[in-house]
Amino acid sequence: MTTQYALWDRIREVDLLKVRSRTRLADLLCHMISNEVLPITILKVVEWGTLTAGVSSVIRRVFKTLSTSSLTKIRRIFSPLFVRDKNPLLTEGLRLFLSVNFPDSEVYTKIEEYFCAG
């Protein structure tokens, strides 16, 4: 739980970090999410309506790296977001972010289908 709070603080302060620190934060988030150490809901602190360039670059790096995972793994990672009315701001913000930043990604297109089916 302490790790989660520390990461939330880092995500909120990402614009104050140097580029190298942002890259490391993105890699850490990706590692922890892809290995299911932390759920994707760790990103619920992101202000999706007012994304800054720093936050956007970190999130983009996380999902670019995650997109190389198998569809089964990605579906497992995203499964907490498929539940209706749970984390609606995160779900909608993430859906919009992925559709804008990864419009040609097969993996994220499939995830969008799961969102629509849910």
Domain extent, residue 72, equals 2-117
Q: What's the mean pLDDT in 90-96?
A: 93
- If one compares 102 and 84, the residue with the highest pLDDT of the two is 102
Burial-class residue 40 by CB neighbours within 10 Å (0-12, 13-18, 19+): buried
- Over residues 5-17, the pLDDT tens digits come to 999 999 999 999 9
51, burial (CB in 10 Å: exposed 0-12, middle 13-18, buried 19+)? middle
Contact 74, 111 (CB under 8 A): yes
pTM for the whole thing?
0.91
Residue 26 and residue 32: Cα distance in Å, rounded? Answer: 10
pLDDT range class, residue 112, cuts 50, 70, 90:
confident
Interval 64-89: pLDDT, tens: 999 999 999 999 999 999 887 888 99
The number of folded domains in the chain is 1
Phi/psi at 113 (5° precision)? -65, -40
